[in-house]
A and B are shown apart, each in its own frame.
Chain A
Amino acid sequence: MRAFDEEKTRVDEVDRSIYDIRDEVHPSFEVQSGLTESIVRKISDEKHDPAWMRVFRMKSLQLYNSIPVPNWGPSLDDLHLEDIVTYVRPDTTMRGKWSEVPEDIKNTFERLGIPEAERKSLAGVGAQYDSEVVYHNISAAAAAQGVIYTDMESALTGPYEDMVRKHFMKLVPPSDHKFAALHGAVWSGGSFVYVPPGVSVEIPLQSYFRLNAPGAGQFEHTLIIVDKGAYLHFIEGCSAPKYSVNNLHAGCVELYVGENARLRYSTIENWSKNMYNLNTKRARVEKGGTIEWVSGSFGSHISYLYPMSILKGEGSRMEFTGITFAGGGQNLDTGAKVVHGAPNTTSHISTKSISRDGGVSTFRSLVKVAPEASGSKSAVACESLMLDDRSRSDTIPVMDIQCDEADVGHEAKIGRISEQAVFYLMSRGLSEDDARAFIVGGFAEPIAKELPLEYAVEMNNLIHLEMKGSIG
């Protein structure tokens, strides 16, 4: 049953060369570092907030000042908000053509492959640079279906203000935790999506968030409403170059999935290793609806990231597939939460994590089945791979079951590559290196297969696996 091998498996660190190229910083406007009423007011002024949003920001600031720092996750002692610049407006306005985007910013997104991906495989793209969206476009075909895809600022101050007001931070209230309150106070940028009833957006939309300014925070807000019977695949990417000072990302994603609708939300997060990634994502799913999360966490210094699904309607469903890769200097606390709040709801969580070179990976989860969720089913499987003895990998799941008519299963495994599996593959003709590469590739495969081909390739580039070693 036990199978240990003596040889080390080498898995290269994530190749960050294209992400670490910095642009010269020349914002058109930025606030002072720190967080004060005056700074929050300035952000409201700069963004021409409606009155209700001004009040909302100030209330959120009060909450931020009253809520303690989390005492249960990775240490945030070295995150000093007084050193963080919460709003940096790039020296451009939002454009609808890449040719109109300033050269240096455009080149950055070119390197990241965003315009090319748009041409090849996306129905729309939003590109945020520091605190504001610099490019937003939706394909004519998607627009003709009635799909709305715009930046949050336009949505808030334009014809969709009422819809925004009805949904904004209702799923993630600022009182939820300290960094939700921070988000409520200083949020800027992000995307708004509305998919009308019955409309199926056959090719994905993508938002990409790039943080360039050192010592800055990014607080984009993503609000997606997929109406009854509609379908959307939304892809979120993010990256930043590495600096010697801390950067902070405290975004917020709110997803409303209507009756019998389906939303797939895919993320490849590749923040730099000076980034505190304190992001909050939440979905509410109505009767017969489905939320699918695909999540790859590769970057950041410290992450707190647990996408949450509230299965509010009968027969609603969630699937979460995630992979986390923690290398040297990284402490990635990731996982998922699901609340079964209605009968016959279903959830399936499958995660993988790899720790190497002193990295710390923690899988943290919650499965809650409310008393009224009879006939619900949940299955959780998490698997961790430790690649050296300087790293850590912890698994901290919680199941809170308050309904006798439910079936909940949970499985977790931790270990290293099975020598028996290597031996078996070698007996079928593979070399040892190929066998090991095959096994590690298989370990990461469940997430790769969930992504569109181009993104699976990107992920495989991110985890450039190089296997070494020989039996002996």
Chain B
Amino acid sequence: MTDRINVLPVPTWNHLGVNWAGKEFSLVDTQKKEFPEENLSLSPLPSGIERMKNFPGETVHIESGIGKVYDNYVIQHANVSCFLKVKESVHQTVRMKVSVSSASDTVIGSYGIYAEDGSRVTFMQEIASDEQVSGSTAELTRIYAKKGARVKLIQIQNLNRTSRSWNGVAIYAEDGARVEVVRAVLGGSCAALGSRASLDGKESSYQLDTIYFGDQTQIFDFNDIADHYGKSTRCDMYTAGVLAGKSSKVLRGTIDFKRGAVYAAGHETEEVLMLGKSVRNRTVPLILCGEEQVEGQHAATIGRLDETQIYYLCSRGLTPAEARMLLVEGRFSPVLDQIPDESLREELALQIERRLKENDPKSNAS
């Protein structure tokens, strides 16, 4: 496949290389491989949720941030699938884990949540890999939230450093529906992520919370879009990340107020901590506006940790390393706190702490 992915909704200067993802993210058209059942685990489904064979046809027009061509590729070549119909409010988290191993080094996963009127669900997806395998994962999650439905999607990507990954999320929200997406992106040699929320229904809302940690030579490429069509729609997109080693990242975040989206509000915030002389961060936060009665804001803070904050924390008895970890935890907690599994949450926090220490010369010195 040669089509461009993660395309910026409105292009800018070509020489900046942000109008679409780089060639390292080109998808290779591979033969469909079988995926062993034992590498997919799904928690028992509570009553109120049933597994469907196919995702309902009315969702075909929704598109992920990676792009329609990618979506069709995943749908047609999927070797893992999981489509859930949520009929009522479910309070326990539905968990799915995909393991990449030498026996299953290629994952093409097509997932979906079809939430009926007024239903509620939390769906957690975890993808991890054996250390020795160079895997490839291409996933697409479609969410169709009907009137008043509440859907929370938690995605944990913890692949090894030789795997490549693509992860698209496509969302459609009817009147009063709310969709929350929580993402932790920690692994992969290169990872492309693209979410797109169509807020079509009146008073529908979308919240996206992302954390990432890049080190060594990791490359992350994000394309997150919130399309406001309906009246009084709302989106909040928060991204916090650390770049260390020779890692790099592009974040495209777009709030698009379509004409007619009166009283819509969209907020986007990004915090990037740069650690290391060879990191590169590119941030492209767009606000597109064709409607006057809206409120849009974005804010980005990129650079170092605030030395005065570190100094203050040290004066309260913390070591510099503890102070830095505390400040990073503060940025990551909006995501980590939403992971329902305590042991997984602690495991991720420990991993972040370890990588922070590995990549912070000041911390090593202290």
Contact = CB atoms under 8 A, between A and B. Distances in A.
A357 to B, nearest CB: 12
Interface stretch (B58-66, B100-108, B184-192, B275-283): B275-283
Nearest to B244: A404
B289 A72 contact: no
Contacts of B290: 389, 392
Contact of A402 (B259, B279, B284, B287): B279
Interface string A380-411: 00001011110111111111111111111111
Contact of A389 (B276, B288, B291): B291
A148 interface: no
Contacts of B57: none
A398 B12 contact: yes
B14 A72 contact: yes
A469 interface: no
A395 B293 contact: no
B163 to A, nearest CB: 26
B285 A400 contact: no
Contacts of A397: 284-286
Contacts of B281: 399-402
A181 to B, nearest CB: 16
Contacts of A406: 274, 302-304
A387 B304 contact: no
Contact of A2 (B263, B274, B279, B282): B263
A161 B357 CA distance: 59
A387 B278 CA distance: 44
Contact of B301 (A364, A395, A409): A409
Interface of A is mostly: strand
A411 to B, nearest CB: 5
Interface residues on A, range: 35 or more
Given A401-B280, A414-B295, A72 B274 contact: no
B10 A414 contact: no
A80 interface: no
Contacts of B302: 399, 401, 406-410
A158 B278 CA distance: 48
A423 to B, nearest CB: 16
A223 to B, nearest CB: 25
A89 B219 CA distance: 55
B296 interface: yes
A393 B283 contact: no
A424 interface: no
Given A71-B14, A384-B289, A389-B259, A399 B295 contact: no
A416 B297 contact: no
Contacts of A396: 10, 12, 284, 286
Given A394-B10, A401-B274, A406-B274, 4 more contacts: A401-B281, A402-B280, A410-B283, A415-B294
Nearest first, the 6 A-B pairs at minimum CB distance are A404-B274, A386-B292, A72-B11, A407-B303, A408-B302, A410-B300
24 contacts: A4-B263, A4-B295, A71-B11, A366-B16, A371-B278, A386-B289, A386-B291, A389-B259, A389-B262, A394-B288, A397-B284, A399-B283, A401-B303, A402-B279, A404-B274, A404-B276, A407-B303, A407-B304, A408-B302, A409-B300, A410-B300, A411-B298, A413-B297, A414-B294
